[in-house]
Chains A and B, each alone.
Chain A
Amino acid sequence: MTDSPMTDSPMTDSAMTDGPVTDVFAPLAKAFPEVEFEQVLESQQDVAHVPADRYVDFVAAARTAGFDVFVDLCGVDYLRSNPRYEVVTNLLSHEHVRRLRIRVGVSGTEPVLSSITSVFPGANFYEREVYDLFGIVFDGHPDLTRILMPDDWEGHPLRKNYSVGSVPVRFKESPKAQ
């Protein structure tokens, strides 16, 4: 058990208590003054609002700062706000027992964002999913193709201006429907 360096993550009581935000994020906040940190819902949900041009640098710095577990990446379509899209990346630190949610705005007219697959290879499928469902192009992604929908599908289903695509319920055998 002791031979693996990964098993000594401090899941002790002291590490799980609420520390001030600045303790863990201080180096990040210092290196990225333009990044805005906030804590939502009083439940240890730390959010960082990152400008799109510093996104990859920030994720790389966060990885060095201990947030080395890639958790999640998803898109959100805020339709009427500016910028229209947002890409939300979730990172986790086993060392600090903290999560970090990184929110990046992406323009609606030109939805392009740099890919973080060079930092976290795990973002590969997630970025493909966001490309597939939202049409956000990830610059520098090794294989940006559709992942969930068929290759010849038109449109990006999770955009708010894409309809749910429901068809009216038909009662095929009902005499009234004839």
Chain B
Amino acid sequence: MSDTPNVVTGDLEAPTTEAPAEAESTSSETADRKREVHDMWVAGTEEPAWMRSYTDEGAQEILAAEDESAPELTRGTVVEDDFIFDDVADDDELQILNMGPQHPSTHGVLRLHLELDGETIRRVKPIIGYLHTGMEKTAETLTYMQGSTNVTRMDYLSPMHMELAFSLAVESLLGVEIPERGQAIRVLLTELNRVSSHLVWCATQGTDLGAVSMLIFGLRDREYILQFFEKVTGLRMNHNFIRPGGVAADLPDGWEEDIEAILQKVPQGVSEYEELFNGNPIFRDRTMGVGVITPEECKALGVSGPIARASGINWDLRKAFPYSGIDKYDFDVPVGKHGDVWDRYLVRMEEIKQSLGIVKQVLETIPGGDYRTTDRKVTPPPRKRIDESMEALIHHFKLFTSGFKVPAGESYAAVESPRGELGMYVVSDGREKPWRLHARTPSFNHVQALPTMMTDSLVADIVATIASADPVLGDVDR
């Protein structure tokens, strides 16, 4: 790992309190896989000394990778698909439980069909489509100019990434180059969006595990970013700001101060969360070793983003296929080891910090110049020209009513959204509306991978696992 530059921040196991750190090292060293129970206690509430013997109680920690029996014991059954299995012989003992689609913890209208053997989940079938909006069909009726209005509503927690992926796909067909300032604005907004999306994840993960105050905290810090977005784009969500050809407008006056305020406030909040989570015995117990997915399963199921990275796949589209000049900025890709909920938490927390680092670099290095391409085929003439020239007015009118034509062809462009690989596949027949627009959305794969993460775990782990997969149902159903 050490010979690959700019990639890995090292081991992510970095709790703030000392006692759990000892527990980690103990767990990987002792062969009998026991843990000291007093490590789980908050300072001041320790058990008497005689109770500090090794016990299995609450031991859900990850086992060392050298231990050969580890995968079977901790990672559940390796399941390729929930319904490929033959029916279990003693069907009578299984209980069918329906969860959703209206349920507080399911991050939207996800429905799970569970087969329980007592407390243990034997099979899971996610049932989706309760938010199917027909956006891919609607996209065929909208011009490329209007297209980002549509796609931004798919993944409503990271609208900027949806717009960026769509714009990149269209631009690759058009063959236009975006000026450096436009690219920097895109990077700035998408990375801020990654932070705000991860903050919502933080809020919902905490809520689902019973820490309702996390909802208040997470959304509090997200609000600072949304206020900046509102100032820049005019809307708190669903911005329609990144468009084919650049961005809709330049950054407003005084944006530097706003970013500096965000860079000051959000890390404060993040360190507060880490204080709340890292040493919290309940949170550690409910996340460690829960919802495990292996790298091989990630690849076969198309799982990407923080979940894949938490399982040890060193892969980030920002490094592999850089877009919008993001390779100019210095950042690290956090990689986990165990692929459980706890590692996903660590990866996401580190990603927030890295993204804020990118934002800081953009603030320091943003170049001047145009924020959108000067190609008049896709960019409307400047306001001043419209006042002067009739042709410019007609051009402006035509561009916004009938749109611009895109050469025939097909293109796939992907960006690293907060959830993973977000791709847009655009097929153009040479007219001003796409012939076909397909969105490859990360949550779709992650919902598909839920049975793999959940099978043979306990009912109480369902919400923790769903929350850590961070599915956005608008992203799943489109």
Residues of chain A touching chain B, judged by Cβ–Cβ distance below 8 Å, are 1-12, 16, 40-41, 43-45, 68-72, 74, 76-78, 88, 90, 94, 97, 99, 101, 117, 120-122, 124-126, 133, 142-143, 146-150, 157-158, 164-165
- Interface membership of B18, Cβ < 8 A: no
Sorting the interface of chain B by its residue count into under 10, 10 to 19, 20 to 34 or 35 or more gives 35 or more
With a cutoff of 8 Å between Cβ atoms, the chain A residues found around residue B412 in the complex are: 45, 72, 90, 99, 101
**Residue B172 contacts which of A12, A41, A78 (CB distance < 8 angstroms)?**
A41
A69 touches B440 (CB 8 A): no
B302 touches A122 (CB 8 A): yes
Closest to B64 in A: A3
A147 touches B436 (CB 8 A): no
**B residues 288-330 touching A (CB-CB < 8 Å):** 295-296, 299-303, 311-315, 319-321
Closest to B128 in A: A147
**B residues 259-275 touching A (CB-CB < 8 Å):** none
CA distance A90 to B302 in the complex (A): 10
- Interface membership of B335, Cβ < 8 A: yes
CB distance from A161 to the nearest CB of B (A): 12
With a cutoff of 8 Å between Cβ atoms, the chain B residues found around residue A147 in the complex are: 128-129
- Interface membership of B445, Cβ < 8 A: yes
Closest to A94 in B: B315
CA distance A10 to B319 in the complex (A): 11
With a cutoff of 8 Å between Cβ atoms, the chain B residues found around residue A45 in the complex are: 172, 411-412
**Residue B410 contacts which of A4, A40, A120 (CB distance < 8 angstroms)?**
A40
With a cutoff of 8 Å between Cβ atoms, the chain A residues found around residue B321 in the complex are: 44, 97
CB distance from A83 to the nearest CB of B (A): 15
CB distance from A164 to the nearest CB of B (A): 6
- Interface membership of B4, Cβ < 8 A: yes
CB distance from A128 to the nearest CB of B (A): 10
B314 touches A76 (CB 8 A): no
With a cutoff of 8 Å between Cβ atoms, the chain A residues found around residue B224 in the complex are: none
Residue of B136, B410, B427, B447 contacting most chain A CB atoms (<10 Å): B410
A7 touches B335 (CB 8 A): yes
Closest to B314 in A: A7
Please name 16 further chain A to chain B contacts, defined as beta carbons within 8 Å, in addition to the given A1-B10, A101-B412, A133-B136, sorted by A numbering: A1-B8, A3-B337, A5-B295, A40-B411, A69-B302, A72-B423, A74-B425, A90-B412, A90-B425, A94-B299, A120-B300, A121-B301, A125-B447, A125-B448, A148-B477, A165-B134
- Interface membership of B33, Cβ < 8 A: no
Which of B40-48, B80-88, B213-221, B278-286 is the contact stretch? Answer: B80-88
With contact pairs A4-B295, A76-B436, A148-B128 given, residues A70 and B300 touching in the complex (Cβ less than 8 Å) = yes
A148 touches B132 (CB 8 A): yes
Residue of A12, A74, A101 contacting most chain B CB atoms (<10 Å): A74
With a cutoff of 8 Å between Cβ atoms, the chain A residues found around residue B312 in the complex are: 4, 6-7
With a cutoff of 8 Å between Cβ atoms, the chain B residues found around residue A4 in the complex are: 65, 295, 312, 337
Closest to B445 in A: A122
With a cutoff of 8 Å between Cβ atoms, the chain B residues found around residue A164 in the complex are: 134, 137-138, 140-141
A40 touches B337 (CB 8 A): no
With a cutoff of 8 Å between Cβ atoms, the chain B residues found around residue A2 in the complex are: 1
CB distance from A14 to the nearest CB of B (A): 12
With a cutoff of 8 Å between Cβ atoms, the chain B residues found around residue A133 in the complex are: 136
* Majority DSSP secondary structure for residues of A touching B: loop
**Residue B7 contacts which of A11, A70, A77, A126 (CB distance < 8 angstroms)?**
A11
**Can you report 10 A-B residue pairs in the complex whose CB atoms are below 8 A from each other?**
A6-B312, A40-B411, A74-B440, A97-B321, A122-B300, A122-B303, A126-B444, A142-B81, A147-B128, A147-B129
With a cutoff of 8 Å between Cβ atoms, the chain A residues found around residue B91 in the complex are: none
Residue of A43, A125, A146, A164 contacting most chain B CB atoms (<10 Å): A125
CB distance from A18 to the nearest CB of B (A): 12
CB distance from A31 to the nearest CB of B (A): 22
Closest to A103 in B: B410
CA distance A4 to B81 in the complex (A): 24
A97 touches B444 (CB 8 A): no
B137 touches A70 (CB 8 A): no
Which are the 3 A-B pairs with shortest beta-carbon distances? A4-B312, A6-B295, A148-B129
**Residue A72 contacts which of B129, B140, B435, B440 (CB distance < 8 angstroms)?**
B440
A1 touches B436 (CB 8 A): no
B66 touches A3 (CB 8 A): yes
CB distance from A69 to the nearest CB of B (A): 5
B300 touches A72 (CB 8 A): no
**Residue B299 contacts which of A68, A72, A158 (CB distance < 8 angstroms)?**
A68
With a cutoff of 8 Å between Cβ atoms, the chain B residues found around residue A74 in the complex are: 425, 438, 440
A41 touches B299 (CB 8 A): no
With a cutoff of 8 Å between Cβ atoms, the chain A residues found around residue B163 in the complex are: none
With a cutoff of 8 Å between Cβ atoms, the chain A residues found around residue B315 in the complex are: 9, 11, 94
A90 touches B440 (CB 8 A): yes
B425 touches A94 (CB 8 A): no
CA distance A16 to B315 in the complex (A): 13
